[in-house]
Chains A and B, each alone.
Chain A
Amino acid sequence: MVVKVYGPITAACPQRVLACLLEVGVDFELIPVDLESGEHKRPEFLLRQPFGQVPAIEDGDFKLFESRAIIRYYAAKHAESGPNLLGSTLEEQAQVDQWLEVEAHNFNEMVYAIVLQLLILPRMGQPTDKALVQNCTEKLAKVLDVYDRRLSTSPFLAGEWFSLADLSHLPGIRYLTEEAGLGNLIRERNHVNSWWITISSRLAWKKVMQLLN
């Protein structure tokens, strides 16, 4: 059964889901959603995702939204057959959950605000709040300092192996380095930089990039 993923390849949250599906070897069909024409706010799409955001998935009769819930489901479903992205023990799972939460609350908030100001608003003909961007960039720098210290003690966020916690960061860091002109935040921190090079070199992520380009 092929999983239908609704959303544009250009958006971060669909990329997060595709990276996971590719890691665990689940076939999918990407069904584009045209954000510019407001397709995601129309009644048909709101039936899939009541907040009018992407992505949403459909796996036979089973429907889900929220990218981090989707990746948890597929990682758990294929934990035995594929790479273990969630951890084997309760303690390992807790570490993965911890850094997934850090991504969602400490990292994503800043990245989202920066992307909104630098990339999305200008496309809508609206001005960038430069002071806000500066503020968010400074906060993000401090967050990445914590990451750098963490990654000086282990190669991946949750420990010795690649997990959902690392995967969840891929789209956001790609935005920073390739579209927002903030790659220096990554490059200036040795351990964060090595980690980024390692995780973005994974085959699954390279396939997502191929779909994007």
Chain B
Amino acid sequence: MKLHGSPISTATMRVLAVLHEKDVDFEFVPINMATGEHKSPAFLSLNPFGQLPAFEDGDLKLFESRAITQYILQTYADKGSQLTCSDPKKMAIISVWMEVEAHHFEPVTSALAFELVFKPLFGMVTDPAAVEANEAKLAKVLDVYEERLARSPYLGGDSFTLADLHHIPTLSYLIDTAVKKLFTSRPHVSAWCDDIMARPAWSKVVAMRK
């Protein structure tokens, strides 16, 4: 298996986390965004939207991190952490919270990560109005998460699954910013964050950023 991406890209890290959780062999092919490599014809043949990451397993080529993570999960169902559940109804609940991550968590947190982490890296100026607006939205989303996690140890149910894992990369960026307070002020959310970011597989992903 080959993963084309960047260790600072949250979508790439999402796939790296699953590869490490599953403890499978893979080749990592770094793509240099600074030189626009992700818009080169070679990369566009792997991901026509010019976004990271892209993935190859033999003849199969895939893009979209959340499709890749699910493919790896099903292909290596017997290896490493399970990250899912075979019961269809429990799988559906996991699926609900994967959608919540994609549609409620990701848009606001990636906007905040862009303002607070990436803009400074690129010498651009953070927009305080955008930060304030997205923090307000995130607070409402995290209120729902707090309620959910008060009743369930993990978002999808009793065990750690893709529904939790998909959050880790963007969460790990925000936990180093002032936005951290939105997470730490909600006890169940806070405990869940600590738990999922303490996973050994995630520390292997972090090590790749250095």
Q: Which residue in A93, A100, A106, A109 is a CB contact (below 8 Å) of B74?
A: A93
**Are A76 and B88 touching (Cβ within 8 A)?**
yes
- Best-surrounded residue of A90, A106, A109, A143 (most CB of chain B within 10 A): A90
Q: B residues within 8 A CB of A90?
A: 71, 74-75
Q: How many residues of B contact A (CB 8 A)?
A: 32
Beta-carbon nearest neighbor of B51 in chain A: A106
Is the pair B88, A98 in contact by a Cβ cutoff of 8 Å?
no
Residue of B nearest to A73 (CB): B92
Give the interface segment out of A61-69, A125-133, A198-206: A61-69
Say yes or no for B67: interface residue by CB 8 A criterion. yes
Indicate the size class of the contact surface on chain A: 20 to 34
Residues of B near A97 (CB, < 8 A) are 64, 66-67, 70-71
Contact of A51 among B63, B93, B144 (CB under 8 A): B144
Which of A62, A70, A101 is close to B64, meaning CB atoms less than 8 Å apart?
A101
Binds A, one of B98-106, B118-126, B172-180: B98-106
When the two chains form their complex, are residues A66 and B99 in contact, meaning their CB atoms are under 8 A apart? yes
**Given A50-B144, A65-B96, A66-B95: A146 and B64 within 8 A (CB)?**
no
B49, CB-defined interface residue at 8 Å: yes
Check if A69 sits within 8 Å of B98, measured CB to CB.
yes
B99 to chain A: closest residue by CB: A66
Which of A51, A73, A100, A106 is the one whose CB lies under 8 Å from B49? A106
- A165's closest neighbor in chain B, by CB? B67
Interface SS of chain B:
helix
B96 to A: closest C-beta gap in Å: 4
List of A residues within 8 angstroms of B103 by Cβ = 66, 104
A77 an interface residue at 8 Å Cβ cutoff? yes
Chain B 57-87: CB-based contact to A (< 8 A → 1; otherwise 0): 0001011111110110011000000000000
- List residues 22-54 of chain A with CB under 8 A from any CB of chain B: 50-51
Name 29 interchain pairs, CB-CB below 8 A, sorted by A. Answer: A50-B144, A50-B148, A51-B104, A64-B92, A66-B99, A66-B103, A68-B95, A68-B99, A69-B98, A70-B92, A73-B91, A73-B92, A76-B88, A94-B60, A94-B68, A94-B70, A95-B62, A97-B64, A97-B66, A97-B67, A97-B71, A101-B65, A101-B66, A102-B49, A105-B64, A105-B102, A106-B49, A109-B107, A149-B48
Q: Which 5 A-B pairs have the closest CB atoms?
A: A101-B64, A66-B99, A97-B67, A69-B95, A73-B92
B interface residue numbers (CB < 8 A to A) = 48-49, 60, 62-68, 70-71, 74-75, 88-89, 91-93, 95-96, 98-100, 102-104, 107, 141, 144, 147-148
